Chain A
């Protein structure tokens, strides 16, 4: 009967109370195999659905499981740890219920067991419990799980390493103190060694763990960097597995965002080029951490932004901006471009040359873009325009831009034109002067001042020639002209 239940449990989730009351006495059966199978069945039921997991908790099965976890053989331990994991994964309340019945100590004892399967199941359960929030993580840490998890990482079995790495990642992601506890046990050295392991799922977890540690503060990021992960981490950016690439770029992003010195370190080891290539080779959400990393590096200082430009990141970012369907990725690309272009005219020119400004403008103006995307593209346009002196890129703006941006554009023209005669000529021949005359500006406003300063760069006749209605005025003069009688 127990084997039946075990086999059918994935498909019959209803009638849960009955099932619980049926399975509970089986847990106390004499024959160990029945106990194990009953536990396995419970685990599968709880795994399937959150309500069933709640029913497991309400049915008071957990204390029994916890009690027998300490004594039974390894198959039972594995099954019981599986049940705990299945219950704890659905919600924080269920995980709290598991912690309340004292399961953490027994799970930690299971972590010291000889059998790697038991350790794996226990580590998995602990990882799922610690995933939900900081209090549960703290409870897991207080039970003394962290040193044992670090020992588990050093074991030869790959599955155990994976699970232990993911558990450490879940523990350290909530707060800096938890990350510090993980670091104090010496986890970073082992995690850093495992980056070289060929197994891709392991690499995913290890990179995720390191990035969760590094994200909290500068000291933690520095400790991660001191473990000599660069330039080894860059090889992970070339991995076949997409999630390895994503986690590797997340790690680099978390390190780069803290201080300019760390970004400098990453630039010096060639990280920017690697990330740019990585962005080029993948699509969608995988790209997002890479794009953000470029933005963070460029935001720190203008030298770093110049280094980012030199690594040919700008064309790649503009490709992302135009290609990607999702708004949040576009917003990230727009933000990154804004950070690159805002420092000096050189930077703005480098961004403008790739023809991204019209794209940004269209994103800002389109009604379909989300609020976030609109704000970010507007900021990017403004910050780049403030410094842009590359006139061919500015000209299209004269035609399409809304008034608040037009003001900046005209302002830039008024700064550049007085000094450059070739630019003036080009401005006239390309029809820019004509457009400027057509702009209606309130008298005394900033825009009018800019227009006046532009007009003052040219001789009067040209200005009059291009002012609107000049042809009508000329025709009127023709009409009113009396030829000399003779």
Chain B
């Protein structure tokens, strides 16, 4: 019990102590609480900052990788482009080189070939020189010819003069004017006169009276004597010397028709021609051109050429030669051919229904047969008569 009392006495003290201790703590509680809060918040902050730092770092890494990747891609693109450009530049440069060479070559060879032009001009000047030479020669030749012609004309003139002045020639007794005794040599005219032939005083052109000539010609009006030549004789002809026959007689003789002997009149191949003549006449008279070939199988050797219409590609078509109707054997009732007369395969119904008609019909048929036979006989007779017209038939 003592402790209880003690405790109870102490209880207020305890209570007060309890209260005071608790309240004292309360004073510190806020502080401590605040401090704790601060510590906690700061710690939390640290944690989160650390986390953030971590996150930042991680994000940086990601971004770094991504950016590196992008950059590398870009770089590759650039490199590619650069490479392409470099290649293209190289190709362009090479192409330019080729084009440069080709253009130079083309211009120099096809558009303006300097050496060809030089050659051409050289050729032109050579041709010019050649032409100049040729023309010079031609001109010289012409001059020479002219001079020669002139000289010849002069010569002729002098010759003619000498012939005219032939009487001035010196004789033995009297020296001529060109052969003066005081000269050393005779004048060249003297020599010319000596060489020249004296000119006959007859005028070279005799003017004929055309009227007389024509009347002479027209006098011969007989039919046989006029000349039928194409070339007419010249009009102004010099009168020929000497007594001549009358022109009509001459022309008669000239244009007399030929009368050869019998020996000459026949041609040399006359026998051959006569044979030909005979052959022609016979040919004219013959009706049949084929040679008569009795007992020969000449005609059998000829190959028969069938019509196209009646032959097919596998051989001659039987339609048209063997049968003329389009037949369909599949539709036939029986395979034997259907005969309508001669009592054998007469249609049964017909015979039963109309017996009298059948008799009449049969009589008609018999008559027809007899007529046919008669006709055949007569035909044979006619043929025989044709073939052997002269034979007498003993029947």
Q: A residues touching B (Cβ–Cβ < 8 Å)?
A: 231, 234-235, 237-238, 240, 267-274, 277, 303, 306-307, 310-311
Chain A minimum-CB-distance residue to B145: A198
Provided the pairs A238-B138, A303-B117 are in contact, do residues A269 and B131 lie with their beta carbons within 8 angstroms? yes
Of the candidates A231, A234, A237, A307, the one whose C-beta lies within 8 Å of that of B124 is A307
A residues near B131, Cβ cutoff 8 Å: 231, 234, 269-271, 273-274
A residues near B18, Cβ cutoff 8 Å: none
B residues near A272, Cβ cutoff 8 Å: 124, 128
Check B117 against A268 for contact (C-beta < 8 Å).
no
Provided the pairs A273-B131, A306-B117 are in contact, do residues A267 and B124 lie with their beta carbons within 8 angstroms? yes
Is B21's beta carbon under 8 Å from chain A? Answer: no
Provided the pairs A272-B128, A273-B129 are in contact, do residues A303 and B138 lie with their beta carbons within 8 angstroms? no
Check B135 against A311 for contact (C-beta < 8 Å).
no
Of the candidates B125, B135, B142, the one whose C-beta lies within 8 Å of that of A277 is B135
A residues near B124, Cβ cutoff 8 Å: 267-268, 270, 272, 307, 310-311
Is B127's beta carbon under 8 Å from chain A? Answer: yes
Chain B minimum-CB-distance residue to A308: B124
Provided the pairs A235-B135, A235-B138 are in contact, do residues A270 and B117 lie with their beta carbons within 8 angstroms? no
Is B372's beta carbon under 8 Å from chain A? Answer: no
State how many angstroms separate the Cβ of A355 from the closest Cβ of chain B.
23
Is B55's beta carbon under 8 Å from chain A? Answer: no
Is B130's beta carbon under 8 Å from chain A? Answer: yes
B residues near A277, Cβ cutoff 8 Å: 132, 135
Is B139's beta carbon under 8 Å from chain A? Answer: yes
Known: A269-B127, A306-B121. 16 other contacts (CB 8 A): A235-B138, A238-B138, A238-B142, A267-B124, A268-B127, A270-B127, A273-B128, A273-B129, A273-B131, A274-B131, A303-B117, A307-B124, A310-B121, A310-B124, A310-B128, A311-B124
State how many angstroms separate the Cβ of B92 from the closest Cβ of chain A.
33
Cα A310 to Cα B119 with chains together (Å): 12
| Number of chain B interface residues as a range | 10 to 19
Provided the pairs A270-B130, A303-B117, A303-B120 are in contact, do residues A310 and B125 lie with their beta carbons within 8 angstroms? yes
Cα A270 to Cα B125 with chains together (Å): 8
Cα A450 to Cα B132 with chains together (Å): 47
Cα A238 to Cα B125 with chains together (Å): 19
Query: Which 3 pairs from chain A and chain B are nearest by CB?
Result: A270-B131, A273-B128, A270-B127
Check A270 against B128 for contact (C-beta < 8 Å).
yes
Cα A271 to Cα B127 with chains together (Å): 9
Check A238 against B135 for contact (C-beta < 8 Å).
yes
Provided the pairs A270-B128, A272-B128 are in contact, do residues A234 and B121 lie with their beta carbons within 8 angstroms? no
Cα A294 to Cα B131 with chains together (Å): 17
5 A-B contact pairs sorted by A residue (CB < 8 Å) = A270-B130, A270-B132, A272-B124, A274-B131, A306-B117
Chain B minimum-CB-distance residue to A313: B128
> Tally of A-B residue pairs with Cβ under 8 A?
50
Provided the pairs A234-B135, A235-B135, A238-B135 are in contact, do residues A311 and B128 lie with their beta carbons within 8 angstroms? yes
A residues near B127, Cβ cutoff 8 Å: 268-270, 273
Cα A229 to Cα B125 with chains together (Å): 21
A residues near B132, Cβ cutoff 8 Å: 270, 273-274, 277
State the main secondary structure of chain A at its contact with B. helix
State how many angstroms separate the Cβ of B232 from the closest Cβ of chain A.
12
Q: B residues touching A (Cβ–Cβ < 8 Å)?
A: 117, 120-121, 124-125, 127-132, 135-136, 138-139, 142
Cα A268 to Cα B138 with chains together (Å): 20
Check A307 against B121 for contact (C-beta < 8 Å).
yes
Chain A minimum-CB-distance residue to B117: A303
Cα A306 to Cα B127 with chains together (Å): 15
Cα A235 to Cα B130 with chains together (Å): 13
B residues near A269, Cβ cutoff 8 Å: 127, 131
A residues near B125, Cβ cutoff 8 Å: 310-311
Cα A267 to Cα B129 with chains together (Å): 12
Cα A240 to Cα B136 with chains together (Å): 12
State how many angstroms separate the Cβ of A191 from the closest Cβ of chain B.
21
Check B117 against A238 for contact (C-beta < 8 Å).
no
Residue among A272, A274, A307 with the most chain B CB within 10 A? Answer: A307
Chain A minimum-CB-distance residue to B128: A273
State how many angstroms separate the Cβ of A284 from the closest Cβ of chain B.
21
Cα A277 to Cα B139 with chains together (Å): 12
State how many angstroms separate the Cβ of A349 from the closest Cβ of chain B.
15
State how many angstroms separate the Cβ of B68 from the closest Cβ of chain A.
61
B residues near A240, Cβ cutoff 8 Å: 142
A residues near B128, Cβ cutoff 8 Å: 270, 272-273, 310-311
Cα A235 to Cα B131 with chains together (Å): 9
B residues near A267, Cβ cutoff 8 Å: 124
State how many angstroms separate the Cβ of B295 from the closest Cβ of chain A.
73
State how many angstroms separate the Cβ of A195 from the closest Cβ of chain B.
13
Cα A466 to Cα B117 with chains together (Å): 45
Of the candidates A268, A274, A303, A310, the one whose C-beta lies within 8 Å of that of B135 is A274
Cα A231 to Cα B136 with chains together (Å): 14
Of the candidates B117, B129, B135, B142, the one whose C-beta lies within 8 Å of that of A237 is B135
Cα A310 to Cα B127 with chains together (Å): 11
Cα A303 to Cα B132 with chains together (Å): 21
A residues near B117, Cβ cutoff 8 Å: 303, 306
A residues near B120, Cβ cutoff 8 Å: 303, 307
Cα A274 to Cα B136 with chains together (Å): 10
State how many angstroms separate the Cβ of A438 from the closest Cβ of chain B.
42
Cα A267 to Cα B124 with chains together (Å): 7
A residues near B142, Cβ cutoff 8 Å: 238, 240
B residues near A231, Cβ cutoff 8 Å: 131
Check A238 against B121 for contact (C-beta < 8 Å).
no
B residues near A270, Cβ cutoff 8 Å: 124, 127-128, 130-132
Chain A minimum-CB-distance residue to B125: A310
Residue among A267, A272, A273, A303 with the most chain B CB within 10 A? Answer: A273
